[in-house]
Structure 1
Amino acid sequence: MFFKLDGKRVVLAGGGEPSLWKAELLSAAGARVEVYSESFAEGFRELASSPPSGQLELKARRWTPEDLVSAAMAVGAFSDDGEAAQFASAARAAGVPVNVVDRPAFCDFQFGAIVNRSPLVVGISTDGAAPVFGQAIRSLIEGLLPVSFKRWAEAARSLRGEGDRLGDTMEKKRRFWQRFTDLALRNADRGPTSAELEQLTGDISEEATRHPVVIIDIGPGGAEALTLGAVRALRGADDIFFDEDVPAAVTEFARREARRYPIASGRENSQSVATDMVTAAAKGGRLVRIRTCVAPEASAEPDEAGALRAAGLSVVVLLPGHAP
């Protein structure tokens, strides 16, 4: 979950260094932060004079339950479990979600490590168990997500207001966002150009949006042996036909709303499967077929691919990669 804190009041109890980090984070999210403490660590007054985004006000006194009324969020940093429990109890009595720094037992939510390409934000949580490990995972993901993704996310937010220009049905809108995403991933080293965005929002014929059926053959490596192209096809699929013995870790790459069709083991029903896929493909969505193969010769195309091509569909077969 991501809280929208822009312009909202957040109560922060405690003036130590852990509170300073939270004050900076909350202010960067646009919150109006009120910090209650009888003393403040070095850096608080400088932060209050120039907060990153929102407002920050220092209250030189201990917090009271009345301070929590109508707050959007409550955060406390205490060395004493007794005061931590009082703060959490008072926040809940006021109907305010609460976090107590380094005290998971008193928390309604946790602050995860984040990769910030705002408005694209990735959150990593260890449920308070291993914050340093979460930070290490964040570093790995930061290396995978170029800073230019921020520009693609900003463009997407701007395009959200285009309404029917992106398609007059939910299906057409989703196809638009699939084209947008494909373009972004192909050009991850830069942001979008105005000409590219204009072309995306222009009229595109049904023929131009027709996608090939993607057949993914997987070997003993399972999900670890999937190629990048196979993962991308699964994430964009509308309909997925898969052998019953395909590992769940493979199909989990697909969107939750993708329609799934398990297929009983045995090759004698390949013609029936092909007929069902032709019917599904006629709806205009992206179709993926996942097959298991245990030997190199099993990767050869069976009758399914031929039947699909005979029905006028383009077919792409992705062979298994190698497990690391």
Structure 2
Amino acid sequence: MVTNVSAHARKGGHPARIEALSSLPIFLKLTGRRAVIVGDSEAALWKAELVAACGAHVEVFAGTGVERFRLLAEAPPPGSVRMHARDWRESDLTGAAIAIADLATNEEAAHFAEAARRAGVPFNIVDKPDFCDLQFGAIVNRSPLLVSISTDGAAPVFAQAIRAKIEALLPQGLKRWADAARAWRPALSRLGLGFAARRAFWESFSDYALAKPDAMPDAALRDDLIASATRAEALGAARGRVTLIAAPSPDPDLLTLKAVRALQSAEVILYDQLVSAEVLGFARREAKRIMIGKTGEIDALMLRLARQGKHVVRIEGGEPLAFGRAGEEVESCRRGGIEVAIVPGVTTAPGAGASLGISTSFSRSAGEGGHREAMVG
């Protein structure tokens, strides 16, 4: 029997780890691979330049419009560009890693799509999303750090507007940090560090990069981060740690940055039925999720998992610090010798007031003022 896992998970009380996607965002390696471009338009020229910038060997079939590509062919980006002054043939698609065409009619697009599918080549047809296997997003380039924004072909201009916002948020210096991450990863892997130490290294690396994006990451910093991560692993090898998170609201926008960081570093997440799927969506996909119900079993489970050296996040809906068992759980961890941290949430009253534009300290809005006015007047 075939089971719809997502629907089954929701019925069983376990929210899906990701909501439905209109398409799968992927990044395709093209270095040293063959790419086919069909068409003589400005859009075809841009696509040829784009895939050549990825290191592809680009073959352009542009008929009589091949001269448009000459400057690119003479001085291509990292890849290469060859021009063919003829129309494309189905045999041209054999062995290609990707095929892109700018075609005038739906009939031409359908013919190209059928040929590409027969050749087993992923393809894109410019401005004809209904005929495409893949689509291009609006790109923010800090290579090897890349961001691509897609609206599934619905509104490319909207995607470009979002790209402009992200461009302003990501300093150019982050490219150097992404280059350093790529260069340092093999050395880090050879050290054989455990998950916790590797995670600690990359968290510290990320903190440095975001705090000082224009700085130059060097070997001294790398060695300091490795030493710090190794010490952290040695201290945490015998026991893990527990983080208690309060999530008074199901609205993920009201989760604190500290809570998000804890969820992203957790290996195991213990949650109750009041925690929304959107809040849990901040967690790493690899983290194990356990729905908990009986209060008598929670303490023992937290301690057992933490003693295995894991970072356990216990996230509780409602107001656990005011009305729940947070105090008992903290005391249980401390008695068991487990490091425990508490991350408060945005409480319901201020959160609700903020969403309505009402100050809870403004007497006329908060309710208390009615009595004051009566007393004064």
Aligned residues of 1:167 and 1:173 also touching (Cα < 8 A): no
Deviation at 1:73, TM superposition (A): 1.0
Write out aligned runs for 1:78-97 (5 A): 78-97=103-122
After superposition, the C-alpha distances for 1:103-138 in whole angstroms (9 at most, x for unaligned) are 112111111222222222222222222211222222
Q: Please name the residue that 1:44 is paired with.
A: 69
Q: What is the distance in 1 between the residues matched to 2:320 and 2:286?
A: 32
Question: TM-score, normalized by length of structure 2?
Answer: 0.77
Q: What is the distance in 2 between the residues matched to 1:75 and 1:174?
A: 43
Q: Please, which moves more after superposition, 3-12 or 111-120?
A: 111-120
After superposition, the C-alpha distances for 1:127-175 in whole angstroms (9 at most, x for unaligned) are 222211222222233333333332232222223323654325xxx0453
Q: Please, which moves more after superposition, 100-109 or 197-206?
A: 197-206
Write out aligned runs for 1:212-291 (5 A): 212-220=241-249, 222-264=251-293, 269=295, 271-291=296-316
Please report the RMSD computed on the Cα atoms of aligned residues, expressed in angstroms. Answer: 2.4
Q: Please, which moves more after superposition, 211-220 or 107-116?
A: 211-220
Aligned residues of 2:139 and 2:149 also touching (Cα < 8 A): yes
Higher helix residue share:
2
**Count of aligned pairs:** 317
2:181 is the alignment partner of 1:156 = yes
Alignment-mate amino acid for residue 207 of structure 1: L
Q: Please name the residue that 2:341 is paired with.
A: 316
Q: What is the distance in 2 between the residues matched to 1:225 and 1:299?
A: 19
Write out aligned runs for 1:32-111 (5 A): 32-40=57-65, 44-111=69-136
After superposition, the C-alpha distances for 1:261-299 in whole angstroms (9 at most, x for unaligned) are 1122x7xx2x53122101111111221110122498337
Task: Please state whether the residue corresponding to 2:160 is helix, strand or coil.
Answer: helix
> Is the alpha carbon distance of 1:68 and 1:42 closer, same or farther for their aligned partners in structure 2, counting shifts above 3 Å?
closer
Unaligned runs of 5+ in 2: 1-25, 356-377
Q: Please, which moves more after superposition, 231-240 or 143-152?
A: 143-152
Q: What is the distance in 2 between the residues matched to 1:41 and 1:227?
A: 55
Q: What is the distance in 2 between the residues matched to 1:278 and 1:3?
A: 43
2:268 is the alignment partner of 1:206 = no
> Is the alpha carbon distance of 1:291 and 1:300 closer, same or farther for their aligned partners in structure 2, counting shifts above 3 Å?
same
Q: What is the distance in 1 between the residues matched to 2:335 and 2:225?
A: 31
Unaligned runs of 5+ in 1: none
2:174 is the alignment partner of 1:146 = no
Q: Please name the residue that 1:180 is paired with.
A: 202
Question: TM-score, normalized by length of structure 1?
Answer: 0.89
Q: What is the distance in 2 between the residues matched to 1:296 and 1:289?
A: 12
Q: What is the distance in 1 between the residues matched to 2:247 and 2:279?
A: 9
Please tell me whether Structure 1 or Structure 2 has the larger radius of gyration of its CA atoms. Answer: 2
Q: Please name the residue that 1:22 is paired with.
A: 47
> Is the alpha carbon distance of 1:111 and 1:257 closer, same or farther for their aligned partners in structure 2, counting shifts above 3 Å?
same
Aligned residues of 1:223 and 1:250 also touching (Cα < 8 A): yes
Q: Please, which moves more after superposition, 276-285 or 133-142?
A: 133-142
> Is the alpha carbon distance of 1:3 and 1:59 closer, same or farther for their aligned partners in structure 2, counting shifts above 3 Å?
same
Aligned residues of 1:6 and 1:54 also touching (Cα < 8 A): yes
Query: Percent identity of the aligned residues?
Result: 43
Q: What is the distance in 1 between the residues matched to 2:197 and 2:165?
A: 30
Alignment-mate amino acid for residue 234 of structure 2: E
Q: What is the distance in 2 between the residues matched to 1:225 and 1:136?
A: 25
Q: Please name the residue that 1:126 is paired with.
A: 151
Q: What is the distance in 2 between the residues matched to 1:63 and 1:200?
A: 53
> Is the alpha carbon distance of 1:193 and 1:211 closer, same or farther for their aligned partners in structure 2, counting shifts above 3 Å?
farther
Q: What is the distance in 2 between the residues matched to 1:125 and 1:96?
A: 21
Q: What is the distance in 1 between the residues matched to 2:320 and 2:186?
A: 50
Alignment-mate amino acid for residue 183 of structure 1: F
Task: Please state whether the residue corresponding to 1:167 is helix, strand or coil.
Answer: coil
Deviation at 1:179, TM superposition (A): 2.3
Alignment-mate amino acid for residue 12 of structure 1: I
